[in-house]
């Protein structure tokens, strides 16, 4: 029997096993976050007339927001953090948690890309100082703010007393 006959089957089994294991990497979400766990998010939005980055840390009861100023490093052809400034904390209601979970569902399923604004989201679930799950999204649909049940990151940040 020729070994090449098993290559398609081996490849298919590999794809199925990696697809299954990637779901284990999904964070629990905001409302289901275990006591003691935190969600750490880097949210970057850039468009025709804006560019900003926030680092957010979520627990089941609050969110802290830090504004991040990025600078371009030519030698690495990438941005790096130049300065960070904590801009505040917010208490989160059950409605907020549900709105953030709806945002997460939107990012997981949205495939549209017809907008000049791009939001990049990297979110990690932390337990005892270690990452136990992580996800990354890029949204160029401009649709998140049109869904009534979604709490977007810009809306959350605007609730801070001294929002940028």
Q: Would residue 145 count as lying in a domain?
A: yes
3-state SS, the chain, equals: CCHHHHHHHHHHHHHHHHHHHHHCCCCCCCCCCCCCCEEEEEEEEECCCCEEEEEEEECCCEEEEEEEEEEEEHHHCEEEEEEEEEEEEEECCHHHHHHHHHHHHHHHHCCCECCCCEEEEEEEEEECCEEEEEEEEEEECCCHHHCCCCCCHHHHHHCCCCCC
Say if residues 55 and 69 touch (Cβ distance below 8 Å): no
> What pLDDT sits at residue 11?
36
**Angle (CA) 78 108 121, round 5°:** 25
**Angle (CA) 119 83 57, round 5°:** 55
pTM above 0.85, yes or no: no
CA atoms of 124 and 144, how far apart (whole Å): 20
Q: Would residue 10 count as lying in a domain?
A: no
> What pLDDT sits at residue 55?
97
CA atoms of 125 and 115, how far apart (whole Å): 29
> What pLDDT sits at residue 6?
41
> What pLDDT sits at residue 163?
65
Q: Would residue 47 count as lying in a domain?
A: yes
Q: Would residue 79 count as lying in a domain?
A: yes
Q: Would residue 5 count as lying in a domain?
A: no
User: Comparing C-alpha atoms, which of 33, 26, 24 is closest to residue 98?
Assistant: 33
User: Comparing C-alpha atoms, which of 27, 44, 57 is closest to residue 121?
Assistant: 44
Q: Would residue 51 count as lying in a domain?
A: yes
Say if residues 80 and 73 touch (Cβ distance below 8 Å): yes
Domain of residue 134, residue span = 26-158
Per-residue pLDDT of the chain (164 residues; tens, 9 = 90+): 544 444 343 333 333 333 333 345 899 999 999 999 999 999 999 999 999 999 999 999 999 999 999 888 888 888 888 899 999 999 999 999 999 999 999 999 977 778 899 999 999 999 999 999 999 999 999 888 888 899 999 999 999 987 66
> What pLDDT sits at residue 164?
65
Both tokens of 98, joined, read: 């549900």
Q: Report the domain count for the chain.
A: 1
Q: Would residue 65 count as lying in a domain?
A: yes
Q: Would residue 13 count as lying in a domain?
A: no
């Amino acid at each position: 029997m020729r070994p090449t006959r098993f290559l398609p089957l081996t490849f298919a089994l590999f794809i199925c096993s990696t697809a299954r294991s990637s779901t284990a990497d999904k964070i629990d979400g905001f409302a289901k976050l275990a006591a003691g766990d935190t969600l750490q998010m880097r949210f970057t939005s850039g468009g025709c007339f804006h560019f900003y980055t926030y680092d957010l840390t979520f627990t089941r009861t609050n969110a802290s927001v830090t504004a991040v100023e990025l600078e371009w490093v030519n030698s690495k052809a990438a941005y790096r953090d130049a300065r960070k400034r904590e801009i505040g904390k917010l208490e989160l209601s059950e409605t907020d948690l549900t709105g953030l979970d709806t945002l997460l569902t939107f990012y997981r399923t949205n495939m549209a890309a017809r907008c000049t604004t791009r939001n990049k989201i990297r979110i990690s679930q932390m337990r005892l100082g270690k990452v136990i799950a992580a996800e990354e999204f890029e949204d160029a649909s401009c649709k998140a703010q049109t869904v009534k049940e979604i709490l977007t990151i810009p809306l959350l940040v605007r609730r801070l007393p001294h929002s940028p």
